[in-house]
């Protein structure tokens, strides 16, 4: 599937990603700055935080309590925020638009 990352400088980067990977894995393997995934997807770092466009967010399972708790540790959290290690890629997410949070 195609995933579009909107980078902090406004540039759009489109990558091909495999279903059955998480969005964090797709970001890290394509060198997207600002999505780090320090804990390897164990819900213990929040360095995989990013914003998911509402249209696509509605197609995802709701965040778990653990994810909501860990999001508290991220900066610049909004209603669009998700931890990308908890977002499993699927055909319904083809064309997904992900905004990388400000780097600071």
Using CB under 6 A, list all residues that contact ligand FES: 24, 37-39, 41, 43-48, 70, 83, 85
How many residues are given for the chain? 104
Closer Cβ to ligand FES, 23 or 93, answer by number: 23
Element (H, E) at 13: strand 12-16
CB of 2 to ligand FES, least distance (A): 22
CB of 48 to ligand FES, least distance (A): 3
Cα 96 to Cα 59: distance, rounded to the nearest angstrom: 10
Residue nearest to ligand FES (CB): 85
Cα 56 to Cα 5: distance, rounded to the nearest angstrom: 13
Helix (H, G, I), strand (E, B) or coil at 57: helix
CB of 74 to ligand FES, least distance (A): 9
């Amino acid at each position: 599937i195609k995933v579009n990352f909107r980078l902090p400088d406004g540039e759009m980067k489109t990558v091909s990603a495999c279903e059955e990977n998480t969005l964090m894995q797709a970001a890290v393997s394509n060198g997207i700055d600002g999505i780090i995934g320090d804990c390897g997807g164990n819900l213990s770092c929040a360095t995989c935080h990013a914003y998911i466009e509402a249209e696509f967010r509605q197609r995802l399972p709701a965040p778990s309590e653990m994810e909501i708790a860990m999001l508290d540790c991220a900066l610049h959290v909004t209603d669009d925020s998700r931890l990308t290690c908890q977002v499993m890629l699927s055909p319904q997410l083809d064309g997904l638009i992900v905004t990388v949070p400000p780097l600071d």
